[in-house]
Amino acid sequence: MLSGRPRRKGGPQHDPLTDTQRDRLLANGRDRDQDHIPVVKFFNPFGAGVWLATELDEDGDIMFGLADIGYPELGSWSLNELRSIRLPFGMGIERDLLFTGDFPISVWAKAARETGRIRDAERLLYRSGRLSGGTRVDTESPRS
């Protein structure tokens, strides 16, 4: 259930990205020299596995961002492979519907390295963001 909608058995997989997210990821992929803010977060609802995507290649499959499947690191992965992961109870990797990136990927990577996990980095960043009066960035709206 990457998209938050149930899949029919034997039916096609739904696109896990909104049109706005896909457009932003593709635009970021064409402008790789920037320190982009994550556009989308995927996670394993049963355990380890978090992916923060900042870019999508023109092929619509290869994503770039911060991945944590035991150790957080910047790199690329296949969206199609992520979608194909089967978990207990017929579930799959989920898209966090409430996620807002708010910080550049370099900040996420540094916090994840310091804490050892993206999930712990998220707690640290948002706790310190609230304390310092940090501003939130909308990852859904296209940039002007």
pLDDT of residue 11: 37
- Entry field: residues in the chain: 144
Can you read off the two tokens belonging to residue 16? Answer: 């896990």
Q: Structure pTM?
A: 0.81
Compute mean pLDDT per 10 residues along the chain, 144 residues long, and list them: 40 76 98 96 95 98 97 97 94 95 96 96 84 46 43
pLDDT of residue 22: 97
pLDDT of residue 15: 80
Sequence-separated contacts (24+) of 91-94 with Cβ below 8 Å: 91/1, 91/45, 91/46, 92/1, 92/2, 92/7, 93/2, 93/42, 93/43, 93/44, 93/49, 93/51, 94/1, 94/2, 94/4, 94/42, 94/43, 94/44, 94/45
pLDDT of residue 135: 46
pLDDT of residue 128: 77
pLDDT of residue 142: 45
Residues 36 and 54: beta-carbon distance below 8 Å = yes
